């Protein structure tokens, strides 16, 4: 029996995420209109057979924009998560395993960064980097490193104290070998679980920066940009903001569910 | 135990006392709560006719001598008087703090004869010394005047002829002087107040002679004005005080556009400007509200075309862009048809506007294609984008997001794509970034517009050494006309010069005008007498009446 079937939460999460991934990848075949084609004579039309989710102020098809928007929103989020995870894991491993002054130095820097709310830190960084999707990914990604590094370090500290790791050290195994062979497998589950949280956080924060107009390309279909557009016409055409809002929430919900369902199972299995 | 026994015996009594205390306490809490809430609600009753007026942005500063925002004039135009006023209907100059004035025959000095018996809100008497103190302050480089200093043009000093006569000297004749003196930026402040506060702190303690006095300014939160009951020296267009005149006006900030119509409908505010065009459409049917669409004099919402680099350096190319732009579609979609189309470098309500510009550049994509073909553009590789000498026709358009500019730019991008022009849109967050782009010159089109009743606003944009000559034009004849037009006091001569200037600018296609700026104001239907000064942004609060 597969894991998904035994775990309904996992099944739902994978199902939703799979659907979103499929739609995003297959956007050119699924979208009914050109997501950038403005037809001002069709502005703010209600949802209909022709325009499944209605049209926006410039007469663009909201459905097609949501479908294409997933590509950009999720692409940026994946890049962001990568930028957070790689240095986050490295710093956490080194600090947790090496201990002493290196741990102290690394964690002091991380704590200083943690003092800023991550979205504010990302905002500050993106004003330095300038507008654009890659800039957003770096800004949000870097802002997320401290939290991830802390979680990794905590897990490493726990794993380091386990007798077989102590034993490995006692027989003189090299630190890199111990980290790779013993520590990393031991902390894989919490790491994975927190990676899910990081990803959903990356989606929300990068969408927030897009919403604030740091995405560069104002015409690009993107859930954050669409939310911002939709706000201006919310009273005449609520669907413009609701559609990308639902897509965004659904994605974050599914990722969080995924993170929860891979969390350590109850001890009494 | 005794204690236990006692409690059992006296239990009913004790509960009674405790209960009574508890009930009393609850009652007191309730009364206090009601009192707290009532003080809030009672403000409107106790203070007579009171309205809340929504401001749409928090200016970087509120000192009219130093700061530039049009928004600051919404409260402050009623706090200060100016030496002269422009009549809101005729646009002619009428007496303000000066009861009359005359220009020397050589145009190099202006003498202002001041009203007597005028006092500032702090009791300081108004006289020529007070005007002098204000001119000194504005001219002092230390205060860093962003706007007021420029309005004085070639100002070269003043002489106090007698206690109520002051002469302003100029280094060369300057026709726009009176217009400058009629703006809030040159409002006359109390010399006592100016001396009591620093250049920076004065903005929170402003004292003028106007129909309303500043009660308090809480930065970022509110500005409260109360009526100046001593006011008896207003310009001819100020209405007399009635029982329905406003006693108190509280200004609060609604910087987020979608919140404005909601605040108005909920009754949280009685008046606000800069409503979203789509929201305005919704409010039109509401009997409790009224809409005022106020056209603003100055330049339209527009893009300058960079003539310093290819392909914007070719006149035919620039003209092709104008023919390729469907302004009607843009105004209908983005501004819900609530703004006039713009045709030239000045909006239609600006004095000296030349209606001749309206005939140029109708939307004609085929003609635009022909023009582009004429200068060698063809789609040789059939990718939908025109090319010349192997290079595709790609343009960079830079703009800030104010006033739905992003929507405008996206529609232009889509319209021009139809005739084979590829446009990259660059949205910048603020004016400094926009100005930095202009400095570097890395753009083909850039958006910039400004407001003024004086056509001389064109100088900064179209003189070859203009401060914001972002189209990069360098036309000796145009320079000469622009210079002459601010030197000659003769209205007919000025009109002729400005007609020639507007014609030249459009013939050269230096600018892509989109729409005349219109401030969409919403107000409670209870407000009567809503009227704005000649400059469009600033309400004449003196004339507002609150009916029941």
- Taking CB atoms and an 8 Å cutoff, what residues of chain B touch A43? 333
Calculate the CA A110 to chain-centre distance.
Answer: 20
Q: Provide the shortest C-alpha distance from residue A122 to chain B (in Å).
A: 16
Instruction: State the pLDDT at residue A269.
Output: 40
The confidence score (pLDDT) of residue B44 equals 46
The B-side interface with A (CB below 8 A) comprises 257-258, 261, 276, 278-279, 281-282, 329-330, 332-334, 401, 404, 406-407, 409-411, 413-414, 425-429
Task: Look at the pTM and tell me if it is higher than 0.90.
Answer: no
E runs forming strands in A69-163 = none
Of the candidates A37, A57, A213, which has its C-beta nearest B427's C-beta? A213
> Chain A contacts of B414, Cβ < 8 Å?
36-38, 58
Of the candidates B258, B282, B407, which has its C-beta nearest A57's C-beta?
A: B407
- Smallest Cβ distance to A38: which of B276, B414, B427? B414
Residue span(s) of chain B under CATH 3.10.105.10 come to 301-516
Residue A58 has its nearest CB partner, among B278, B410, B426, at B410
**Token pair belonging to B533:** 């000064």
From B407, which residue of chain A is nearest by alpha-carbon distance?
A: A58
Residue of A nearest to B261 (CA): A235
User: A236 and B279 in contact by Cβ < 8 A?
Assistant: yes
CATH entry, A3-262, from 3.40.50.300, 3.40.50.150, 3.30.365.10, 1.10.3720.10:
1.10.3720.10
* A187 pLDDT more than 90: no
DSSP code for B225: E
Q: What share of chain B is helix, strand, coil (3-state, %, to 5)?
A: 35, 20, 40
CATH 3.30.450.40 is held by the domain B84-192: no
CA distance A29 to chain B (A): 21
Cross-strand bridge partners of residue B304: B446, B511
How many C-beta atoms lie closer than 10 Å to residue B518's C-beta?
Answer: 21
Per CB-CB distance under 8 Å, the chain A contacts of B278 are 44, 57, 232-233, 235-237
pLDDT given at position A214? 87
Distances (CA, A) of A93 to A146, A164, A187: 13, 18, 10
Q: Which residue of A has its CA nearest to B281?
A: A236
What is the dihedral angle through the alpha carbons of B424, B363, B446, B483, rounded to the nearest 10 degrees?
160
Contacts with B413 from chain A: Cβ below 8 Å: 219
pLDDT of residue B41: 45
Closest partner residue to B411 (CB to CB) among A40, A233, A235 is: A40
Distance from CA of A205 to the nearest CA of B (A): 19
Q: Which residues in A lie closer than 8 A to residue B423 (C-beta atoms)? A: none
Q: pLDDT, tens digit, for every residue of A117-130?
A: 888 999 999 988 88
B427 and A131 within 8 Å at the Cβ level: the answer is yes
Question: What stretches in chain B show pLDDT beneath 50?
Answer: 1-3, 5-7, 41-45
Interval A212-224 mean pLDDT: 87
| Phi and psi based region of residue B348 (left: phi greater than 0; alpha: psi -120 to 50; beta: remaining) | alpha
Nearest CA in chain A to B282: A236
Out of 3.20.20.70, 3.40.190.10, 3.10.105.10, 3.90.1150.10, the CATH code matching B301-516 is: 3.10.105.10
Q: How would you class B416 by CB atoms within 10 Å of its CB: exposed for 0-12, middle for 13-18, buried for 19 or more?
A: buried
Residue A141, min C-alpha distance to chain B (Å): 22
Pairing of strands B289-295, B518-524: antiparallel
Looking at beta carbons, which residues of chain B come within 8 Å of A57?
278, 333-334, 407
**Residues of chain A whose C-beta is under 8 A from some C-beta in B?**
36-38, 40-41, 43-44, 57-59, 131, 213, 216-219, 231-237
Q: Which residues of B touch A237 (CB under 8 A)?
A: 278
Encoded tokens for A261: 């369902």
Q: What DSSP character marks residue B184?
A: G
Contact across the interface for A216 and B334, Cβ inside 8 Å: no
- Number of Cβ pairs closer than 8 Å across A and B? 62
Q: How far is Cα B530 from Cα B125, in angstroms, rounded to an integer?
A: 31
The full set of domain ranges for chain A reads 3-262
Question: Is the pLDDT higher at A164 or at B301?
Answer: B301
Minimal CA separation from B402 to chain A, in Å: 12
Of A37, A40, A237, the CB nearest to B329: A40
Tell me if A235 and B258 make a contact (CB, 8 A cut-off). yes
Chain B contact probe: residue of A34, A35, A37, A40 with most B CBs at under 10 A:
A40
Residues of A in Cβ contact (< 8 Å) with B428: 131
Judged by CB atoms closer than 8 Å, whether chains meet at A218 and B414 is answered as: no
B401·A213 Cβ contact <8 A: yes
Is residue A74 exposed (0-12), middle (13-18) or buried (19+ Cβ within 10 Å)?
A: buried
Min Cα separation A39/chain B (Å): 9
CB B332 within 8 A of CB B326: no
| ipTM confidence score | 0.78
CATH topology of domain B42-60+210-294+519-546: D-Maltodextrin-Binding Protein; domain 2 (3.40.190)
**The predicted structure's pLDDT at residue B43:** 47
Q: Do A236 and B334 touch (CB under 8 A)?
A: no
What is the pLDDT, as a whole number, of residue B222? 93
- Tokens of residue B528, six digits: 């009567």
pLDDT at B37: 65
The shortest CB-CB distance from B282 to any of A59, A131, A236 is to A236
DSSP assignments along B89-146, one per residue: TT--EEESSEEEEEE-TTSSEEEEEE-SS-B-TTSPBP-HHHHHHHHHHHH-GGG--S
- Phi first, then psi, for residue B487 (nearest 5°) are -90, -35
Q: Taking CB atoms and an 8 Å limit, are B333 and A219 in contact across chains?
A: no
Q: Between chains, do A232 and B332 touch, taking CB under 8 Å as contact?
A: no
> What's the whole-number average pLDDT of chain A?
88
CB contacts, 8 Å: A231 with chain B:
258
pLDDT for B15: 62
Of B261, B333, B428, the CB nearest to A40: B333
- Residues on chain B touching A235 (C-beta within 8 angstroms): 258, 261, 278-279, 282
Q: What is the total residue count of chain B? A: 548
Q: What is the 3-state secondary structure (H, E, C) of B58-99?
A: CCCCCCCCCCCCHHHHHHHCCCCCCCEEECCCCCCEEECCEE
Q: Contacts of residue A216 in chain B, CB cutoff 8 Å?
A: 426-427
CA distance B345 to B354: 10
Q: Residues A89, A146: contact at Cβ < 8 Å?
A: no
Whose CA is closest to B484, among B471, B498, B502? B498
Which pLDDT tens digit goes with each residue over A38-79? 888 899 999 998 999 999 999 999 999 999 999 998 899 999
- What is the per-residue pLDDT for A264? 55
Dist CA A54 CA A45 (whole Å): 5
């Amino acid at each position: 029996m597969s894991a998904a079937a035994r775990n309904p939460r996992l099944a739902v999460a994978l199902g939703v995420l799979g659907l979103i991934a499929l739609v995003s990848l297959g956007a050119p075949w699924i979208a009914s209109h050109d997501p950038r084609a403005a037809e001002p004579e069709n502005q703010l039309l209600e949802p209909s057979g022709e325009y499944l989710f209605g049209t926006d102020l410039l007469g663009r098809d909201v459905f097609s924009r949501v479908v294409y928007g997933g590509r950009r929103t999720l692409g940026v989020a994946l890049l962001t998560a990568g930028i957070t995870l790689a240095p986050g894991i490295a710093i956490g491993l080194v600090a947790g395993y090496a201990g002493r002054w290196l741990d102290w130095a690394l964690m002091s820097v991380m704590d200083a960064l943690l003092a800023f709310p991550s979205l504010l830190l990302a905002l500050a960084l993106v004003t330095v980097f300038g507008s654009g999707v890659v800039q957003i990914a770096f800004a949000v990604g870097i802002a997320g490193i401290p939290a991830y590094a802390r979680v990794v370090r905590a897990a490493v500290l726990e794993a380091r104290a386990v007798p077989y790791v102590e034993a490995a050290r006692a027989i003189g195994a090299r630190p890199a070998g111990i980290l790779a062979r013993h520590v990393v497998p031991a902390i894989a589950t919490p790491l994975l679980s927190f990676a899910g949280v990081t990803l959903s956080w990356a989606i929300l924060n990068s969408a927030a920066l897009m919403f604030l107009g740091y995405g560069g390309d104002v015409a690009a279909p993107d859930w954050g940009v669409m939310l911002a557009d939709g706000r201006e016409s919310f009273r005449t055409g609520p669907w413009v903001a609701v559609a990308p809002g639902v897509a965004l929430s659904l994605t974050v919900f599914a990722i969080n569910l995924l993170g929860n369902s891979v969390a350590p199972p109850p001890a009494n299995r | 135990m005794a204690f236990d026994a006692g409690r059992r015996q006296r239990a009913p009594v004790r509960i009674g006392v405790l209960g009574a205390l508890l009930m009393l306490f609850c009652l007191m809490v309730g009364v206090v709560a009601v009192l707290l809430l009532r003080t809030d609600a009672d403000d409107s009753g106790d203070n007579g006719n009171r309205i809340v007026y929504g401001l749409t942005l928090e200016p970087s500063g509120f000192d009219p001598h130093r700061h530039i925002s049009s928004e600051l004039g919404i409260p402050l135009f009623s706090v200060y008087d100016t030496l002269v006023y422009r009549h809101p209907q005729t646009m002619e100059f009428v007496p303000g703090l000066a009861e009359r004035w005359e220009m020397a025959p050589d145009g190099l000095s202006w003498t202002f004869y001041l009203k007597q018996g005028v006092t500032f809100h702090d009791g300081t008497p108004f006289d020529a010394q007070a005007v002098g103190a204000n001119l000194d302050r504005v001219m002092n480089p230390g205060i860093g005047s962003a706007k007021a200093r420029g309005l004085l043009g070639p100002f070269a000093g003043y002489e106090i002829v007698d206690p109520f006569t002051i002469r302003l000297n100029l280094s060369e004749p300057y026709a726009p002087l009176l217009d400058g003196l009629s703006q809030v930026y040159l409002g006359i402040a109390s010399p006592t107040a100016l001396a009591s506060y620093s250049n920076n702190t004065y903005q929170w303690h402003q004292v003028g002679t106007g129909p309303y006095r500043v009660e308090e300014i809480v930065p970022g939160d509110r500005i409260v004005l109360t009526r100046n009951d001593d006011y008896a020296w207003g310009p001819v267009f100020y209405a007399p005080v009635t029982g329905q005149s406003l006693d108190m006006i509280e200004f609060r900030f609604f910087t987020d556009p979608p919140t404005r119509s909601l605040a108005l409908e909920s009754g949280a505010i009685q008046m606000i400007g800069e409503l979203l065009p789509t929201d305005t459409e919704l409010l039109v049917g509401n009997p409790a509200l009224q809409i005022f669409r106020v056209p603003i004099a100055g330049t339209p919402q527009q893009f300058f075309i960079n003539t310093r680099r290819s392909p914007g350096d070719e006149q035919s190319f620039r003209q092709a862009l104008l023919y390729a732009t469907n302004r009607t579609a843009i105004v209908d979609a983005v501004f819900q048809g609530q703004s006039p189309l713009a045709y030239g470098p000045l909006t239609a309500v600006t004095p000296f506007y030349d209606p001749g510009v309206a005939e140029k550049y109708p939307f004609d994509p085929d003609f635009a294609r022909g023009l582009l073909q004429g200068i060698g553009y063809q789609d040789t590789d059939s990718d939908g984008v025109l090319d010349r000498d192997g290079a595709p026709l790609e343009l960079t358009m830079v703009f800030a997001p104010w006033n739905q500019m992003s929507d405008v730019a996206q529609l232009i991008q889509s319209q021009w794509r139809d005739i084979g022009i590829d446009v990259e849109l660059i949205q910048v967050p603020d004016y400094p970034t926009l100005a930095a782009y202009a400095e570097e010159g890395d753009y083909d089109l850039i958006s910039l517009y400004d407001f003024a009743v004086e056509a001389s606003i064109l100088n900064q944009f179209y003189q070859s050494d203009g401060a914001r000559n972002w189209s990069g034009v360098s036309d000796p004849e145009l320079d000469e006309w622009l210079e002459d037009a601010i030197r000659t006091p003769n209205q007919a001569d000025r009109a002729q010069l400005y007609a020639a200037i507007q014609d030249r600018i459009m013939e050269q296609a230096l600018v892509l005008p989109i729409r005349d700026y219109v401030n969409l104001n919403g107000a409670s239907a209870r407000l009567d007498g809503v009227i704005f000064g000649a400059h469009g942004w600033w309400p004449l609060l003196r004339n507002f009446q609150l009916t029941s």
